[in-house]
Amino acid sequence: MTRSTAAYEVLDFETLPSTTCPCGTARRGLMETPSVPYSFHLTEISTDARVHYHQRITETYFFLECAPDARMELDGEQIPVRPHTAIVVHPGTRHRAIGRMKVIIVASPKFDPTDERFD
C-alpha cells in the first residue's frame, strides 16, 4: 500500500509486490509517485547476486542486516559491510552484493529496469 497526499507519502513494504531482481528480491516503493524524484527499495540479497551496472541511476545502499562476512563488490574491489553502513554506487560502476543481507536501496532517478546492464 502506498498512501499519497500533497503533504506526504506512506509506504507499507509488507503490502508492496515482491519482484525478482539480479540481487535477489526487491519491494520497490515510490515508483508511481511523480512528486518524488527517486525510488525506495527494500531488497533481500541472495548469495548469488549478479554483477551489473546502471548507465543513469545512482544507487545508495543502506545495510540493515548482513552476515559478518558480507561484502560489496565495486568494479572488482570487495568492500566489507556491516549493518548501518551506506555505500553510494555511481552510474557505470559494476557492482554486486556478496552474501545474504537486507538493504534499503535509494535509486535516483527512479529505478528503470532498462537502465540495468550486464557484461
Condensed to tens digits (0 to 9), the pLDDT of residues 21-60 reads 888 899 999 999 999 999 999 999 987 788 999 999 999 9
CA-based nearest residue to 38, from 47, 29, 46: 29
Residue 7 within any structural domain of the chain = no
pLDDT surpasses 70 at 71:
yes
Model confidence at 73, pLDDT cuts 50, 70, 90, reads very high
Residue 12 within any structural domain of the chain = no
Residue 10 within any structural domain of the chain = no
Residue 5 within any structural domain of the chain = no
Global pTM? 0.92
Q: How far is CA 17 from the centre of its chain?
A: 15
Condensed to tens digits (0 to 9), the pLDDT of residues 90-117 reads 999 999 999 999 999 999 999 999 999 9
Number of structural domains in the chain? 1
SS3 72: strand
Residue 42 within any structural domain of the chain = yes
Residue 58, domain extent: 18-117
